[in-house]
Amino acid sequence: MMTHWIQIIYLISAVLFILGIKWMNKTKAARQGNLLSALGMLLAILATLVQVQVLTLPEILGGMLVGSVIGLVIARRVEMTQIPEMVALFNGFGGLASVAVATSDYWLRQYELNQGLDAIVGPSALVSIFIGGITFTGSVVAFLKLNGRISGQPITFSGQHALNLILFLSSLLVGSMAFWSAIDPLWVLIFIILSLILGVLTVIPIGGADMPVVISLLNSYSGMAACTTGFVLNNSVLIVSGALVGASGIILTQIMCKAMNRSLVSVLLGGFGQTASGSTSDGPEIVVKEVGVEEAAMLFDAASSVIIVPGYGMAVAQAQHAIRELSELCAKRNISVKFAIHPVAGRMPGHMNVLLAEANIPYDQLIEMEEINDEFSRTDLVFVVGANDVVNPAARTNPQSPIFGMPILNADKAQTVIVSKRSMGKGYAGIENELFGYPNCLMLFGDAKQTITKVVGEMKEL
């Protein structure tokens, strides 16, 4: 009877997870979606605690308390710009947990109870250990690359792909041996070590700039590892939630690759940073026109429609609050203000939405690329804040460009464009942006937060 109730609660949890993900799809409902998923998780945890077997309840609650406190402290300290590396660590720990659970279950059945493995538990445990191991070390390397503790440049050497293939085939061999018989436990250890090495080797050739795509892929791996662990433990909610994470991670990876005009294979083979910087110096030098804060304030004051294009530089400068002040000033003067959101602006999906929402900019002012792109040609002033690649016309015009084919925001079509950035520094793709030299484009040099604050000050004087 009890097991029936637990299965029903697991089913409710799974439905809440799915609804939560659906709601997170819409900016307005995202918070409720998050809460709904959290409720699903709470129910799943409670139902699991009821059937505690191996550890005692106080031991489990103690572990949960320590983990929750650590998580809370880290979540409070982390800056918005550090979220991608945080997600990398989360994925890594998810992978490590799968390795730990699957290994202990394998060990118990094979060496303690001498039960052997059946056709479901055996392969599931070994796949879980293998994918979990790759996810763990791969995520740690991604974390170290993103926070600059190791070089973000692709690390490559000759024979790298051949070595990866040999390690993969060796893992397959050792894994099959581990399934068919109770081999020497040393081989199980070797199997784990092989997966850990493969995790390092598959992520080091990928440039720091491609890391968000890899993190999304590793997120999918951690879901797959959790899903297979669900088969090991015969736990339906783990199977469903792992499958959801695995599937949504792979869909997100595809969306990011498409929006960046990159194939997943080319990301995984690595070396993007090198190619891009190699192809930058061609073409004539870009001559730009500068604008000062006073003149910029006057241009805002004279406009009747403004589109703001936020990019990675806005996140670096933490300029979102200054931007909200600017948009409120414009609104008071009956100037229409909209925000154009490119799907890969910033360094993670939804990066701009999160920052602008944090600054209380109304959701209905945030307009997706497909919806707003036709409006640029009818707009008086476009204000590009720390964005570069997502407004680079080379994506439309230059087949040699590494970003050729990537859909961009049509900022160049507006009557006047002001670009706020610190210098002529390049963006993620490492290429020049000819927009900055266009006759309708003016450069407002300086840190975005500082210059926008000054523009706001000037506007108040007008």
Q: Which residues bind ligand NAP (CB under 6 A)?
A: 212-213, 256, 260, 311-313, 316-317, 344-349, 351, 386-390, 420-423, 425-429, 447-448
Shortest separation between residue 372's beta carbon and ligand NAP, angstroms: 15
| Closest alpha carbon to 222 in 415, 316, 88 | 88
**How far, in Å, CA of 419 to CA of 288, rounded?**
11
Provide the residue type at 380 as one letter: D
Are the CB atoms for 313 and 444 separated by under 8 Å? no
CA 7 distance to own-chain centroid? 33
Strand segments, DSSP code E, in 178-281 are: none
| Closest alpha carbon to 197 in 170, 232, 234, 231 | 170
Return the SS3 of 221.
Answer: helix
User: Quick one: which H or E segment has residue 461?
Assistant: helix 448-461
**How far, in Å, CA of 458 to CA of 445, rounded?**
16
**How far, in Å, CA of 114 to CA of 170, rounded?**
25
**How far, in Å, CA of 6 to CA of 236, rounded?**
10
DSSP 287: P
Phi, psi (rounded to 5 degrees) for 41:
-65, -40
Joined together, the tokens standing for residue 224 give 């797959």
**How far, in Å, CA of 220 to CA of 237, rounded?**
17
**How far, in Å, CA of 55 to CA of 60, rounded?**
7
The nearer residue to ligand NAP, 87 or 96, going by C-beta atoms, is: 87
Shortest separation between residue 342's beta carbon and ligand NAP, angstroms: 7
The nearer residue to ligand NAP, 3 or 423, going by C-beta atoms, is: 423
The nearer residue to ligand NAP, 203 or 390, going by C-beta atoms, is: 390
The nearer residue to ligand NAP, 98 or 216, going by C-beta atoms, is: 216
| Closest alpha carbon to 352 in 393, 401, 385 | 385
Shortest separation between residue 427's beta carbon and ligand NAP, angstroms: 2
C-alpha torsion sign, points 29, 30, 34, 40: positive
Joined together, the tokens standing for residue 371 give 């919806």
Joined together, the tokens standing for residue 114 give 């001498």
Catalytic residue chosen out of the listed positions 105, 210, 389, 412: 389
**How far, in Å, CA of 389 to CA of 311, rounded?**
9
Tell me, yes or no, if 301 is annotated catalytic.
Answer: no
Q: Which residues of 5-20 are buried (b: 16+ CB within 10 A; e: fewer)?
A: ebeebbebbbebbbbb
The nearer residue to ligand NAP, 161 or 426, going by C-beta atoms, is: 426
The nearer residue to ligand NAP, 299 or 403, going by C-beta atoms, is: 403
Joined together, the tokens standing for residue 188 give 């199980």
The nearer residue to ligand NAP, 213 or 244, going by C-beta atoms, is: 213
Active-site residue list: 389
